[in-house]
A = this chain, B = another copy of it.
Amino acid sequence: MEVLPHTLAIDVMGSDRGPSEIILGISEALRDRDDFGVLLVGDQSVIHRELQKLHIDQDPRLEIVHASEVIGMDEKPVHSLRAKKDASVIRAIELVQEGKAGAILGCGNTGALMAGSTLKLRTMEGVERPVLVTVIPTFDRYIVMADVGANPNTTPIQMVHNAILSSDYAVRVLGIEHPRIGLLTIGTEEGKGNELTLTTHEYLKQLKGIIHYSGLIEGFQVFEGAVDIVLCDGFVGNVLLKTLESLVTQLKGYLKGELKKNPVRLLGAFLAKGAFEALKVRLNPEQYGAASLLGLRGKVLKSHGSSKHGAIRSGIRMAVALMGEGSENSSQRKILEANTRLESIKS
Residue in contact with A268 in the complex, picked from B111, B186, B254, B272, CB distance below 8 Å? B272
Residue in contact with A271 in the complex, picked from B223, B250, B264, B274, CB distance below 8 Å? B264
Produce 1/0 per residue, A208-238, CB < 8 A to B.
0000000000111111100000001111101
Contact assessment for A194 and B245 in the assembled complex, using a CB-CB cutoff below 8 Å: no
Interface residues of A (CB under 8 A from B): 74, 76, 111, 138-139, 149, 152-153, 184-187, 189, 191-195, 197, 218-224, 232-236, 238-248, 250-251, 253-255, 258-259, 261-262, 264-265, 267-276, 278-279, 282
Contact assessment for A243 and B219 in the assembled complex, using a CB-CB cutoff below 8 Å: yes
With contacts A152-B194, A278-B258 taken as known, whether A243 is within 8 angstroms of B271 at the C-beta atoms is no
> What are 16 of the A-B contact pairs (CB < 8 Å)?
A153-B195, A186-B239, A220-B246, A222-B243, A222-B246, A222-B247, A223-B243, A224-B250, A244-B244, A258-B278, A258-B279, A259-B272, A261-B274, A268-B269, A268-B273, A272-B272
Bound together, the chains give a CA A224 to CA B254 distance in angstroms of 12
Complex copy number for this chain: 2
The closest CB in chain B to the CB of A244 belongs to B247
With contacts A247-B223, A259-B272, A275-B261 taken as known, whether A239 is within 8 angstroms of B238 at the C-beta atoms is no
CB A48 to nearest CB in B, in angstroms, measures 33
A186 proximity list for chain B (CB < 8 A)? 149, 152, 234-235, 238-239
**Further contacts, 16 of them, CB under 8 A, given A219-B242, A265-B275:** A111-B187, A139-B251, A139-B253, A152-B192, A185-B235, A186-B234, A186-B235, A219-B246, A224-B250, A236-B239, A240-B240, A244-B244, A255-B276, A267-B268, A268-B271, A268-B275
Residue in contact with A224 in the complex, picked from B246, B272, B274, B275, CB distance below 8 Å? B246
Main secondary structure of the interface of A (DSSP, over half): helix
Bound together, the chains give a CA A236 to CA B235 distance in angstroms of 9
A258 proximity list for chain B (CB < 8 A)? 274-276, 278-279
Contact assessment for A271 and B275 in the assembled complex, using a CB-CB cutoff below 8 Å: no
CB A72 to nearest CB in B, in angstroms, measures 12
CB A262 to nearest CB in B, in angstroms, measures 8
A269 proximity list for chain B (CB < 8 A)? 268, 272, 275
The closest CB in chain B to the CB of A271 belongs to B268
**Residue with the highest number of chain B CB atoms closer than 10 Å, among A187, A254, A267, A282:** A254
Contact assessment for B279 and A255 in the assembled complex, using a CB-CB cutoff below 8 Å: yes
Contact assessment for B254 and A194 in the assembled complex, using a CB-CB cutoff below 8 Å: no
The closest CB in chain B to the CB of A149 belongs to B186
Bound together, the chains give a CA A240 to CA B237 distance in angstroms of 10
Contact assessment for B242 and A218 in the assembled complex, using a CB-CB cutoff below 8 Å: yes
A242 proximity list for chain B (CB < 8 A)? 218-220
Contact assessment for B246 and A275 in the assembled complex, using a CB-CB cutoff below 8 Å: no
**Residue with the highest number of chain B CB atoms closer than 10 Å, among A185, A187, A246, A271:** A271
Residue in contact with A139 in the complex, picked from B138, B189, B219, B254, CB distance below 8 Å? B254
Contact assessment for B235 and A239 in the assembled complex, using a CB-CB cutoff below 8 Å: no
Bound together, the chains give a CA A244 to CA B273 distance in angstroms of 25
